[in-house]
Structure 1
Amino acid sequence: MSLRLLKGIRVVSIEQFISAPYCTSMLADSGAEVIKIERPGSGDPRRSYDPKLGPEDDYLSGGFVSYNRGKKSVELDLSDPNDGETFEQLLRDADVFVHNLRPGSLAKLGWGADELRKRFPHMVVCEISGFGVTGGPYAKWPALDSVIQGMSGLSSLLGTSPAAPPGLAPMGTMDILAGVYAAVGILAALVQLERTGQGSHVDAAMYDIGAAFLERPLTLHEFTGELPARGQDNYSPVATFQTGDSAWISIVIPTDDMWARTCRAIERPDLTNHLELDTSVKRAARMRDTVVPALELWARGLSADECLSALRAAGQPAGLVQSIAQVRACPQLAHRELFVDVEDPRAVHDDGRHIALPRLPLLFDGRRAEPGAVPRLGAHNETTRQPESIVGHP
């Protein structure tokens, strides 16, 4: 049975790129009706992103599909009076309105958050932006994911050493986090709506969310005054080490108990109570020059599977550093049915293999989300404009 926890909830979203589309995709996967408002003729810019499948005049974009399954696509130009009227009709029966345009852009067209709250007091209004909608010195700055990765401090921690250039995570980390937090805010506001009949305004700033995501480095800095540096962690004994078959294993040894288990697994009881390794902080300081060499000396004649089996048998958590191909082929994720075929005739390789992407990664009473079809641009223009589709949604 597919997941329909939000059946009966209508979401209208003016969205583009990742943050708002990811937010509303979570709601759509949970059973909400999501109407995606797009620019006439071109739509969401990510519709044109590579890689692509299908014919040149009707392709499926790899940059669009995963955030937009199960939605309805409607083309509207809000500067056009007729389209503005259609937009208003959609909002009359909406429970949630989401957008991730620049702050103030909708207000110029008469659809700012304050106006929406006055006209539709029952509605949850969620705005996702770079720096929030309450003002401040950065309020008018444009922002995309990599900008927030840098400004939040994340990039300052990604890299091999303090001397190495700052790094960027190779996916929309901050966009997706913003989408997840916005969805949490919307769900909390829907609970209030159910209890009181009153909507809410949810202000989701990517910069706030990115900084909050770095809870641990900020906490360490607050407690110690120290500046966390790239490529090293002075308070957590975490590392990767190489095995005899050239694989890599990730390990963290935060407690004395785990350190004793690790020493038993690698047959180095002499290290258990070593004076330079007998606390978590000491082990963190000596990971590179003592702990990792000891692990790799033990692992030199073993395969990754043998190393992992020995560590797990001793009760020490450890994991293989997997490639993306290994993740896609993982038997545990297959058992959990994480990857679901994309519902679109274009989502097929030349050899007949279907494109499969992760669903909402939660199960509710054993039920999983069943993402719907990928909407072509304007696929629901006519049906959504019909009065019966506006007045009474499922």
Structure 2
Amino acid sequence: MSEKPSSSSTPSKAAREVDPLLQDLNEKKQSFRRNVVSLAAELKELRSRLSSQEQSYARETLTRQEAETNAKNMELEIGRLQKNLEQKDQQLQASASSTEKYLKQLDDLRSQLVATRKTADASAASAQSAQLQCSELVKELDEKNGSLREHEARVLRLGEQLDNLQKDLQARESSQKQLKDEVLRIEHDIMEALAKAGENKNCELRKILDEVSPKNFEKMNKLLVVKDEEIGKLKDEIKIMSAHWKLKTKELESQLEKQRRTDQELKKKVLKLEFCLQEARSQTRKLQRMGERRDKAIKELRDQLAAKQQREIVGADKQNQNFWDTSGFKIVVSMSMLVLVYVLVALASQFFQCSRKYIADSSCVFSYIYGPITTIVVLVELSSCISQKRK
């Protein structure tokens, strides 16, 4: 009986000793269960986060692809703009070369204008000198015409005098003839009277006549000789004067012809000079008009070039401004910034969770880190390319 209570006491003691162990085990089981539940919850959270991260990674890959396509499009657009700028530069160079050619042509035209103006001035001076010479020659011609008129008046007066002398000669000749006829008639009458009278008387009358008639005849002959000599002298003088005045008239006529010829030649020269002056003036006007047209064309070209340059500069600025201020570019930049912030936050959280939960799987860590790092690298390259294009 004594052994039974001892045996019953030993299991009670053992039960008493086992109960705290069971309690510890139960507590450990409960804590383990709680840990398992928490780990399961954390696994669910990690799976959900992984799925969300995979989705975000897919979105990031899509955004990265979109950013790459946008960057390629931007590069193509920039290349096209560079080609357009090169074409515009070539056009500007061609227009500058054409303007230089026009300027050279304008300089040549200006030199031609200067030469034509000099020739026109020289021709105008020669024309003025010719006009002065013509005026002097006209004055000389007027003076010579006046002298010729005076000579003609003198010739007319001398002609009238010659006519008067010829009339006097004719009158004297007629008077001499009348005197001769009268003398002959008187002699005939005397002879008839003597024939009718007696012989005595006839003898006396004959003696008287013989005495008187020779004296009268001598006187008459002397007078006639003197008159004939005077008439001959007058005729000689008239012949000399007529020959002299004929020579004078011939000389004056030859001088008149010479003066007329010189006058005609001078008139021809004056007409030629006037024609040359008109041609020079017309050429100067044409050259001035051509120079004005060239100046206007060059001004228009310069204005067009300036307007083109301004338009190109404004267009380039607008294109740059429009490109950098476009909504797509702003969206891309904002998305890239959001992605970068999200990636940084995800990296921080993942590193924190890995350090907290002692995730030793390096491949998992590398898969978590590789996607955001690649996106960061792409975004950095994109930002550097954009900055270079801006420069």
Q: TM-score range by the shorter chain?
A: under 0.3
- Greater share of strand: 1
User: What TM-score does the superposition give when structure 2 sets the normalisation length?
Assistant: 0.15
Of structures 1 and 2, the larger Rg is shown by: 2
User: What TM-score does the superposition give when structure 1 sets the normalisation length?
Assistant: 0.15
User: Larger RCO: Structure 1 or Structure 2 (Cα < 8 Å, ≥ 6 residues apart)?
Assistant: 2
